[in-house]
Amino acid sequence: MHFHKKVIFLLLTGVILSMPASCVTKTNQQSKQPKGATIFKGTDTNKGGLGHPEIFTSNLPIVIIDTSGKWIRDEPKIPAAMKIIYDKSGGRNSLSSQHIDFKGKIGIELRGKTSLGFPKNQYGVEIQDDEGNDKDASLLQLPAESDWVLNGPYSDKTLMRNYLAYEFSNRIGRYASRTKFVELFLNESSDTITGDKHYVGVYLLIEKIKRGEDRVDIKPLKPADITGGYILKIDKTDRYETYFFTRTGTRLFHVYPK
């Protein structure tokens, strides 16, 4: 498949926003294995289908996740390997490309509540070192951090609502999670990556909301000093989370500090 580049322009209070979109038409390594995760097996060039390096190309970065045959669940995270292919010069990305933006070990889990029942899942991703400890890394030229979200916008058929909301906020100088559109391939079997079997669609790579200089930049709190910033959220009940009610009955969950 080839994904021809389009540009969508939106005008909001004098700000022009451009973003890539995908239009589909049809055309005719191996490294040291990180502890707890498989090496990448490459692409299948012996079978027909999207797995052929010559066939699948995209103007979007390509994310490949391999779980070594384990199924991803909703906690705890399981070890996996992740590779991101991205040609910074603006060229098209393919499964066989040597333009590697990131390659390493991650922990991955399902995320969400209602969306757990969707055919297109959402994932929480933590970059890890060889010992399974969290490690900061820059993905797709975003500031280095360990925690990320792969958002599968199944209920948003435009694929743009989260992107636009976050982008508009950042454009007016109010921090919101930075995002990048990607194409995701997910291998939960022991097979070689092929597009026919492992392509799961367009996703939005999102910075996870957390305290940090390059995320929500608020003063860290200490037991003896509680003057500073707090992060709260409105969400569905989780039995492991603490919360309180406002005077109007709104339930607020603690995100930071825990």
pLDDT for position 51: 46
pLDDT for position 210: 93
CA distance 185 to 56: 11
Domain boundaries, the chain: 2-217, 218-258
Closest to 82 in 3D by CA, of 142, 21, 123, 143: 123
Residues making up the chain, counted from first to last: 258
pTM (global) more than 0.75: yes
pLDDT for position 39: 35
pLDDT for position 47: 41
Beta bridge partners of 110: 123
pLDDT for position 40: 42
Q: From the first residue on, what is the mean pLDDT of each consecutive set of 10 residues in the chain (258 residues)? A: 45 49 39 38 41 74 95 93 97 94 98 86 97 96 98 93 96 96 93 81 96 91 86 82 90 88
Surface-to-core class of residue 225, CB atoms within 10 Å of its CB (0-12 exposed, 13-18 middle, 19+ buried):
exposed
Closest to 182 in 3D by CA, of 209, 153, 157: 153
pLDDT for position 237: 76
Closest to 188 in 3D by CA, of 83, 70, 74: 70
pLDDT for position 113: 81
Q: What is the largest CA-CA distance in the chain?
A: 66
CA distance 102 to 95: 14
Would you state the torsion angle of the CA atoms of residues 134, 135, 138, 144, taken in this order, to the nearest 10 degrees?
90
pLDDT for position 225: 84
Q: Which residues make Cβ contacts (< 8 Å) with residue 173, sequence separation at least 6?
A: none
